[in-house]
Amino acid sequence: MAKMTKEEVIEVAHLARLAITDEEAIHFADQLEAITNAMELLSELDTENVEPTTHVLQMVNVLREDKSIPGLDRDLVMKNVKEHEGGQVKVPTILE
């Protein structure tokens, strides 16, 4: 693993939708580098012919009958929403 740079951390933070300062980026770069270096341990294992496990139990599709059922009560849902109007959630302007 090459050294993790401040710029790489800022790029990853942006992808993760996190705003971070330059100082935070330097701090996280050191820690993430140490953690990813520790994870390099896995590269010593030959996993060429090993199937990946995405789930520990046998999974099957869970299907239900295609019929409508009541959803959450809208007025109740809106109690947790900071800004709403006419039964709709308000967000900051997307298009200028």
Partner 1 sequence: MSFVEKTAAQLQEMIHTKETTIAKMTEKAFDRIEALEPKVDAFLALNKERATQLAAEMDQVPFAERGPLFGLPIGVKDNIVTEGLETTASSRILEGFNPIYNATVVDKLREAGMVTVGKLNMDEFAMGSSNENSYYKKTKNPWNLETVPGGSSGGSAAAVAAGEVPFSLGSDTGGSIRQPAAFCGVVGMKPTYGRVSRFGLIAYASSLDQIGPITRTVKDNALLLNAISGYDDKDSTSANVEVPDFTAALTGDITGLRIGVPKEYFAEGVGEAAKQAVLDALKVLEERGAICEEISLPHSKYALATYYILASSEASSNLSRFDGIRYGYRTEKAGSLLEFYMNTRSEGFGDEVKRRIMLGTYALSSGYYDAYYKKAQKVRTLIKKDFDDAFEKYDVIVGPTTPTPAFKIGEIIDDPLTMYANDILTIPVNLAGVPAISIPCGFENGLPLGLQIIGKHFDEETVYRVADVYEQATDFHKKTPQTWEGAAQ
Among 2, 23, 41, 65, binds partner 1 (CB under 8 A): 41
DSSP the chain: -PPPPHHHHHHHHHHTT----HHHHHHHHHHHHHHHHHHGGGGGS--TTPPP-S-SS--------S-------HHHHHTT-SSEETTEE----S--
Q: Is 2 in the site for partner 1 (CB under 8 A)?
A: no
Among 5, 7, 18, 88, binds partner 1 (CB under 8 A): 18
Among 2, 23, 45, 67, binds partner 1 (CB under 8 A): 45
Applying CB under 8 A, what is the total number of residues that bind partner 1?
47
